[in-house]
């Protein structure tokens, strides 16, 4: 077996829709496709072969039938009678306190194990998407850990943690096997500072929630600090009557399904708007509430003895032992990068000229695609933060921020007034501009450099990195050539 050493540098990441600094691996251009891989490698153009239409409704028996290789696991209700359950505190009545008490409980667990899955259901009239993928972990304090997701598989072995990345459909690190010395106590920083970050993190969703709850010193602090909370009607999940807490952050709704007896989160629902740019537009007449994106923590067990034989890594000949995953070569990058756009003149809702590719108002142009939805309004709020960041860095004089939409001019005139939005918006009803950037949809972003060439295209933009990109373009760095 060969041995090699590899390394990498630092970056910033988008985490649960919020911005946070993480030391560790360099985020390369392939990160934007990881969410699709996390959702089971779903292809928006292929019909789902699943027969169940409700996310999270699959029973344990049905999952065993669908995957004969997976041994049957008890439901959360079945295992709760064999574990040390924490009785609900009657004094905890408000939804935020309920969630906080649940979060605090994870820090005290002796062990934790689940059969978690990411579920996605988009009932398009034609070619509906319905997909699921593993997102499960097992843990015994202080440092016995196993992870199985579409991106990475890890298992503790004596004093080390061994990991392989990818599955049969996606192998970003080919035959690399990482071997790391385990610390006395596993922390989230230890996990994210090294190889797990680029393969475990998913744009907008972040790392698996159970990992954050178990290993972060201050789990979900970004949500607890700024979100508003409300209770929803209780509903059953995995045979448990769950208390549901809805967290509303910047207009986006996250729902936590809580087993109040054991103080465990059994399901987390995400707003589809976070990943909408990765999929075809929602047709008119389709109810957005019918779309479901969730992480379902089936069969959650606590304070028990984990059967580690179920979590072993496959043995593969010719594995290359490394201390860190080597950065993969770029894959599936937009072919339009580095190309100059064809001449285009676009006007705003009132007929005013807002973009002329032949006579641009600024050296660098940043485009942001929106529609007339509430999710777009929240996205525009984030674009305003980019504008403020550019101003603070003294770069606003060379960079123009431009919203782009395919919606009718009269409709957007009303919308922009209702939003009290002063950012310029270009009406591109025919797609004259949009089509030149390849696969672009709502919530995507792109950048034109000083020479008029396409320097960046992001289906799920990392808005906190845009100021840095503008600064590099100002210094004549060719961002497109990096890939």
Structure token pair of residue 287: 């109810």
Helix (H) or strand (E) holding 34: helix 34-38
Q: What is the pLDDT of residue 121?
A: 93
Q: Check residue 214 and give left, alpha or beta (phi > 0: left; psi -120 to 50: alpha).
A: alpha
Residue 202 confidence (pLDDT):
60
Protein fold of 11-322: outer membrane lipoprotein receptor (LolB), chain A (2.50.20)
User: What pLDDT is recorded for position 223?
Assistant: 87
Q: Residue 221: which residues within 8 A CB-CB, separation 6 or more?
A: none
Mean pLDDT of 75-103: 66
Residue 242 burial by Cβ neighbours in a 10 Å radius (0-12, 13-18, 19+): buried
Q: Partners of 244 in the beta sheet? A: 232, 257
Q: Are 207 and 192 in contact (CB under 8 A)?
A: yes
Q: Which region among 151-160, 185-194, 225-234, 424-433 has the lowest average model confidence (pLDDT)?
A: 185-194
Give the long-range contacts of residues 239-246, CB within 8 A, separation 24 or more: 239/75, 239/76, 239/77, 239/78, 240/75, 240/76, 240/77, 240/80, 240/266, 242/266, 242/267, 243/98, 245/95, 245/96, 245/98, 245/99, 246/95
Secondary structure (3-state) at 225: helix
pLDDT confidence of residue 33: 33
pLDDT value for 360: 83
Mean pLDDT for the stretch of residues 79-99: 61
Determine the pLDDT at residue 276.
Answer: 79
- Average pLDDT of the chain is 79
| Residue 171, pLDDT above cutoff 70 | no
| CATH code 2.50.20.10 region(s) in the chain | 11-322
**Residue with structure tokens 């600064």?**
471
Q: What is the pLDDT of residues 261-297, one digit of tens each?
A: 999 999 999 998 877 777 888 888 888 889 999 999 9
Which two structure tokens, joined as six digits, stand for 335? Answer: 């072919």
The answer to whether residue 162 scores a pLDDT higher than 70 is yes
Region of poorest pLDDT, from 43-57, 159-173, 252-266? 43-57
Q: What end-to-end distance do the CA atoms of the chain give, in Å?
A: 31
Residue 12 backbone phi and psi in degrees, to 5: -120, 150
Q: How confident is the model at residue 321 (pLDDT cuts 50, 70, 90)?
A: confident
The answer to whether 62 and 52 have CB atoms below 8 angstroms apart is yes
434: number of Cβ within 10 Å:
22
Task: Please report the pLDDT score of residue 213 as a whole number.
Answer: 94
480 is written with which tokens? 């497109």
- Residue 138: band (very low, low, confident or very high) from pLDDT cuts 50, 70, 90: very high
Tokens of 276: 């909408």
> In this structure, what token pair is assigned to residue 366?
């940043």
Find the helix or strand (DSSP H, E) in which 20 lies: strand 18-22
Spatial contact of 370 and 379, defined as CB atoms under 8 Å apart? yes
Q: Which of 80, 144, 84, 75 is nearest to 303 (CA)?
A: 84
Q: What is the pLDDT of residues 111-129, one digit of tens each?
A: 999 999 999 999 999 889 9
Q: Inform me whether the pLDDT recorded for 362 exceeds 90.
A: no
Q: Which residues contact 200 (CB under 8 A, 6 or more apart)?
A: 147, 149, 151, 152, 191, 192, 207, 208, 211
Kindly tell me if the per-residue pLDDT of 398 is higher than 70.
yes
Residue 99 has pLDDT above 80, yes or no: yes
Would you list the DSSP string of 287-350? -GGG-EEEEE-TT-EESS---GGGGPPPP-TT-EEESSPPPPPP-S--TTTTPBPPP-EEE-TT
Asked if the model's pLDDT at residue 91 lies above 50, the reply is no
Residues 6+ apart with CB under 8 A from 391: none
CATH number, span 345-482: 3.40.30.10
pLDDT-based confidence at 467, cuts 50/70/90? Answer: very high
**Separation of alpha carbons 31 and 172, rounded Å:** 11
Start and end residues for every CATH 3.40.30.10 domain found in the chain: 345-482
Say what the pLDDT of residue 257 is. 98
Helix, coil or strand: residue 417: helix
């Amino acid at each position: 077996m060969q041995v090699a050493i590899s390394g990498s540098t630092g970056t910033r990441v988008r985490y649960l829709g919020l911005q946070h600094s993480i030391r560790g691996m360099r985020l390369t251009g392939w990160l934007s496709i990881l969410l699709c891989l996390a959702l089971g490698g779903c292809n928006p153009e292929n019909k789902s072969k699943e027969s169940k239409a409700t996310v999270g409704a699959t029973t344990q028996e049905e999952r065993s039938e669908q995957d004969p290789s997976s041994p049957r696991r008890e439901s959360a209700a079945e295992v709760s009678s064999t574990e040390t359950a924490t009785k609900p505190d009657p004094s905890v009545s408000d939804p935020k306190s309920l969630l906080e008490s649940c979060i605090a409980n994870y820090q005290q667990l002796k062990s934790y194990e689940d059969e978690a899955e990411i579920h996605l259901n988009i009932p398009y009239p034609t070619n509906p998407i319905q997909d699921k993928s593993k997102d499960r972990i097992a843990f015994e304090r202080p440092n016995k850990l196993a992870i199985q997701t579409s991106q990475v598989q890890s298992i503790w072995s004596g004093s080390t943690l061994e990991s392989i990345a990818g599955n049969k459909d996606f192998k970003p690190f080919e035959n690399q096997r990482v071997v790391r010395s385990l610390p006395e106590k596993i922390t989230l920083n230890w996990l994210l500072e090294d190889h797990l970050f680029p393969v475990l993190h998913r744009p907008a969703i972040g790392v698996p929630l159970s990992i954050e709850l178990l290993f972060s010193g201050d789990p979900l602090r970004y949500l607890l600090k700024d979100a508003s909370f409300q209770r929803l009607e209780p509903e059953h999940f995995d045979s448990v009557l769950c208390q549901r807490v809805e967290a509303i952050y910047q207009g986006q709704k996250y729902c936590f399904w809580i087993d109040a007896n054991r103080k465990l989160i059994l399901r987390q629902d995400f707003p589809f708007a976070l990943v909408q740019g990765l999929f075809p537009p929602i047709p008119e007449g389709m109810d957005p509430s019918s779309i479901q994106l969730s992480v379902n923590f089936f069969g959650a067990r606590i304070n028990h003895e984990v059967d580690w034989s179920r979590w072993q890594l496959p043995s593969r000949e010719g594995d290359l032992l490394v201390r860190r995953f080597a950065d993969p070569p770029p894959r599936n990058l937009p072919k339009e990068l580095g190309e100059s756009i064809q001449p285009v003149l676009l006007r705003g809702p009132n007929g005013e000229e807002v973009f002329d590719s032949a006579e641009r108002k600024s050296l660098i142009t940043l485009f942001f695609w929106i529609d007339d939805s509430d999710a777009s309004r929240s996205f525009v709020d984030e674009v305003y933060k980019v504008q403020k960041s550019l101003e603070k860095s003294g770069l606003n004089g060379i960079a123009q921020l431009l919203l782009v939409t395919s919606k009718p001019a009269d409709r957007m005139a009303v919308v922009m007034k209702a939003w009290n939005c002063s950012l310029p918006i270009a009406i591109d009803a025919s797609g004259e501009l949009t089509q030149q950037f390849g696969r672009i949809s709502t919530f995507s972003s792109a950048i034109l450099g000083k020479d008029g060439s396409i320097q960046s295209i992001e289906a799920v933009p990392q808005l906190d990195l845009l100021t840095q990109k503008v600064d590099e373009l100002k210094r004549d760095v060719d961002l497109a050539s990096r890939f």
